[in-house]
Amino acid sequence: MVAKIFSIPQLLEKKANGHKITMLTAHDYPTAYLAAESGVDLILVGDSLGMTILGYSTPVPVTLTEMIHHTKAVVRGAGNVFVVADMPYGSCQMGTERALADAIALIKEGGARAVKIEGGEEIIPIVKELTLRGIPVVAHIGVLPQTAHLWEGYTAQGLDENDARELAVVAQDLEEAGAFAIVLECIAQEAAKLITEKLDIITIGIGSGSSCDGQLLVSEDMLGLSIGDKQKFNRKFTDLQAAIRQAFAQYIKEVREGTFPTSAHAFEMEEDEAQKIY
């Protein structure tokens, strides 16, 4: 395993030096292990696992217990890579006390080093409280998957000058509240550039163009594993669904034909023991 220990000041230094930051989601041990081995800078245990792993249509049903369960597996695979865990829907809707308790659980039980919170001005008291108590926070603006279905759905944000400037103000307020990084999801690239230039903290784009300080993709999406994925911003770097379908079909065929398993995949008795049976 390649050891990569990035502290928050080192991540901020990457921005200052113009070095791009890479982030991927991981929701299980092998994905985290392989992402870490590949040299990724940050891993997110996203509540997108509700859709990609658990088969829900939104992240809303994902519970804190499920987030902790997956975060533990990811942390075991991630080695020294900085792991951020999503605060699930409900953690921040019930006030600062509940948010604090859930963030502590994700760090203490799950092993995450920071938590990510979706939202704008309404989450500022929570960001302030968590950072005051030493819990690193990644903010998340633009498309907010936890509440998108309640509003206009997955609609790109910051498509005109006013929206872009409003998003930049929200991002600056989140920075001032103490967030050390901010995910920009599906924000027009010009707006994402404006936000990135205005902030000292790291911007991590997903569907927000190349000017962000870093990039994030959902692993199952970029690996071609997500069922029904049609996101414009996703790029399939490989097609694991095709590879898995092919492997499953071949296994079924060989078992049915009797060509798998062969004795190479079986255990054998000594000859004289075998003769006692037959």
Q: List residues near ligand KIV by CB under 6 A.
A: 25, 44, 46-48, 86, 183, 185, 206, 216, 218
Rounded to whole angstroms, how far apart are CA atoms 138 and 127?
Answer: 9
Q: How far is the CB of 273 from ligand KIV (least distance, A)?
A: 54
What is the SS3 assignment for 4?
coil
In whole angstroms, how close is the CB of 46 to ligand KIV at the nearest point?
A: 2
Distance, in Å, from the CA atom of 278 to the CA atom of 275, rounded to the nearest integer, reads 5
Nearest distance from C-beta of residue 207 to ligand KIV, angstroms = 9
Beta-carbon count within 10 A of 83 CB: 25
**Residue 163 burial (10 A CB sphere; 0-12, 13-18, 19+):** middle
The enclosing H or E element of 85 equals strand 82-86
SS3 assignment, position 71: helix
> Which of the residues 185, 197, 270, 273 is marked catalytic?
185
Q: Which is nearer to ligand KIV, 30 or 261 (CB)?
A: 30
Query: Residue 58 or residue 260: which is nearer to ligand KIV going by CB?
Result: 58
Which residue's Cβ lies closest to ligand KIV? 46
Query: Shortest gap between Cβ of 204 and ligand KIV (angstroms)?
Result: 8
Tell me how far apart the 2 most distant CA atoms of the chain are, in Å.
86
118 is catalytic: no
The tokens describing 150, both together, are: 């309640």
User: Do 77 and 33 form a contact (C-beta atoms < 8 A)?
Assistant: yes
Nearest residue (CB) to ligand KIV, 47 versus 102: 47
Which one, 107 or 184, has the nearer CB to ligand KIV?
A: 184
- The whole-angstrom separation of Cα 20 and Cα 160 is 26
Q: Which is nearer to ligand KIV, 215 or 260 (CB)?
A: 215
Residue 218 CB, nearest approach to ligand KIV (Å): 5
Give the HSE-up count for residue 161: Cα atoms under 13 Å, Cβ half-sphere. Answer: 0
Catalytic residues: 185
